[in-house]
């Protein structure tokens, strides 16, 4: 199980990095929604990691300095890998969402959600890139594995 989750977080890290790169290369063409979504994608992974570790987290929709996005992506990846290597996947994590509502999920459910959430928003970003005349990148997992 660990190896499979690590592989999925490597995939997530790789394509988050590619998204940051394509946005950076086309910064004059991208809109505010694109910037907001790449930040949200990275922030959310940091938030989920922090919930598992019971640490202080980012705000889900905060806008980070664009120069910091690669560093945030790298830190998210390293933290997620350490969680995978050290956590009990069945452990229940109690947390509050951004609206203050209490929930609980297992570590595995949270990790899987973080991967799925990133994939979802990269799809949205690709759609926005295309609308702004920028060639989207193929981010499907199967292409990553080929």
Full domain range(s) for residue 9: 2-145
What's the predicted TM-score (pTM) here? 0.95
Name the domain count of the chain.
Answer: 1
Q: In terms of DSSP H, where are the helices of the chain?
A: 2-25, 32-53, 69-86, 107-131, 141-145
Q: Which pLDDT tens digit goes with each residue over 120-133? A: 999 999 999 999 99
Nearest CA to 34 among 19, 44, 18, 48?
Answer: 19
* Model confidence pLDDT, tens digit, residues 59-73: 999 999 999 999 999
CATH of the domain at 92: 1.20.120.450
């Amino acid at each position: 199980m660990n190896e499979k989750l690590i592989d999925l977080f490597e995939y997530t890290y790789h394509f988050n990095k590619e998204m940051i790169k394509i946005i950076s290369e086309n910064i004059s063409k991208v809109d505010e929604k694109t910037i907001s979504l790449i930040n949200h994608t990275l922030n959310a992974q940091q938030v989920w990691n922090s919930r598992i570790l019971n640490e202080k987290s980012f705000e889900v929709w905060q806008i980070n300095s664009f120069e910091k996005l690669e560093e945030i992506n790298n830190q998210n990846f390293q933290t997620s890998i350490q969680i995978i290597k050290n956590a009990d996947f069945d452990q229940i994590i109690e947390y509050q969402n951004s609206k203050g509502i209490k929930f609980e999920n297992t570590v595995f459910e949270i990790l899987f959600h973080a991967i799925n959430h990133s994939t979802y928003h990269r799809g949205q970003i690709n759609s926005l890139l295309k609308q702004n005349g920028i060639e989207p990148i193929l981010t499907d997992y199967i292409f990553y594995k080929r």
